[in-house]
Structure 1
């Protein structure tokens, strides 16, 4: 399949975003998929996923618009000029000196409420019903997407968590109970050195404990994406088109 998707950088709500689709000019998407990058990545980090997903499931090319928000905070002060982050993570975690994620996940990270407001403003600016919006992301972007999906006024169409983990555990646990019908796709590497695999299992258990149907894909690998994961994500998005 030969794809010629459009790629436009624009501001949606408070955030600069990269918008990618292969829809006919002026067509309204059946589904909008908002994918948020991880800590330290540039805003363009996940943009290449759009054509990959369209190729894996050609129906997405004629039905879906992909939106990739840029996190609001720069990492220039850490010597990463092109890198961005949704909220700050303590330096001992970034440097690998501390990995007690079970303890870290209890609290609401400093800066997360502001990032939540910014990402919610982007979702509102899409001007489509929430039951036609899928939220997702990689690593810290997965954390932000989970936080927003649990707090929106209405349940979104789906949630895609790529190498994510839990934060704000008590708040998420309480709010997840109001989202039992939210379909979730979750992938995570068993050898992830940054967000340990057991944290992915804890997140899965939090969501399934609230009644959510979670498609969980463990794979042999680290803090990364693999082709099987993208194929299953594409299939998950097709199901969201059919389940609307």
Structure 2
């Protein structure tokens, strides 16, 4: 299949975004997939996933618009030129010191509320019904996507979590019970040195414990996205596209 998706950089809500689709000019997408990058990555980090997902499932090219927001914080001052973040991570953690994961999973990270408002402004600017919006992301972007998906006025079409983890657990736990019909795809590497595999399991258990349908893909690998994960994600998105 030959694909020539368009890639446009534009501002949606409070954030600069990269918009990619292969739809006919002026066509309205059947589904919008909003994917947020992880800590330290540039805003373009996940853009290449759009054509890869379209190649894996050509149905997506016919009806999906992909939107990749750039996180609001610049990390240039930390010596990461072009790197961005949704919220700050303590320097001790960046220097390789350990983290108290049970405690961290319950707390709201400083800066997360501001990032949430910015990401929700992007969702509002899409101007499509929430039941035609899939939220997702990688690492810190997966955390933000979960946080927003649980707080929107209506349930979105789906949630895609690539190497994510649970944060803000005290706030998420009551909210997740109000989203029993939210379909979730979640992938996580068993050798992830950044967000340990058991933290992916902790997030999965929170979601499944509240009755959410979760497709969980554990894989042998680190803090990354593998081909099998992309293929299953593409299949998950096709179901969201056709499961009206």
Q: Same fold (TM over 0.5)?
A: yes
Residue equivalent to 2:219: 219
Mind listing any 5+ residue stretches in structure 1 that lack a counterpart?
A: none
- Number of residue pairs the alignment of both structures matches: 244
Residue equivalent to 1:33: 33
Mind listing any 5+ residue stretches in structure 2 that lack a counterpart?
A: none
Q: In the alignment, does 2:62 pair up with 1:62?
A: yes
Deviations 1:91-120 (A, max 9, x none): 122222113222211110000000000000
SS of the counterpart of 2:53? helix
Distance in structure 1 (CA, Å) of the matches to 2:95 and 2:182 = 35
How much has 1:6 moved relative to structure 2?
A: 0.1
What TM-score does the superposition give when structure 1 sets the normalisation length?
0.99
Distance in structure 2 (CA, Å) of the matches to 1:225 and 1:101 = 22
Residue equivalent to 2:174: 174
Q: In the alignment, does 2:232 pair up with 1:232?
A: yes
Distance in structure 2 (CA, Å) of the matches to 1:176 and 1:226 = 28
Distance in structure 2 (CA, Å) of the matches to 1:162 and 1:112 = 19
Q: In the alignment, does 2:131 pair up with 1:131?
A: yes
What TM-score does the superposition give when structure 2 sets the normalisation length?
0.99
Distance in structure 1 (CA, Å) of the matches to 2:241 and 2:123 = 18
Distance in structure 1 (CA, Å) of the matches to 2:76 and 2:7 = 26
Where does 1:6-45 land on structure 2 (aligned, <5 Å)? Answer: 6-45=6-45
How much has 1:77 moved relative to structure 2?
A: 1.6
Distance in structure 2 (CA, Å) of the matches to 1:153 and 1:82 = 33
Displaced runs of 4 or more, over 3 A = none
Where does 1:1-244 land on structure 2 (aligned, <5 Å)? Answer: 1-244=1-244
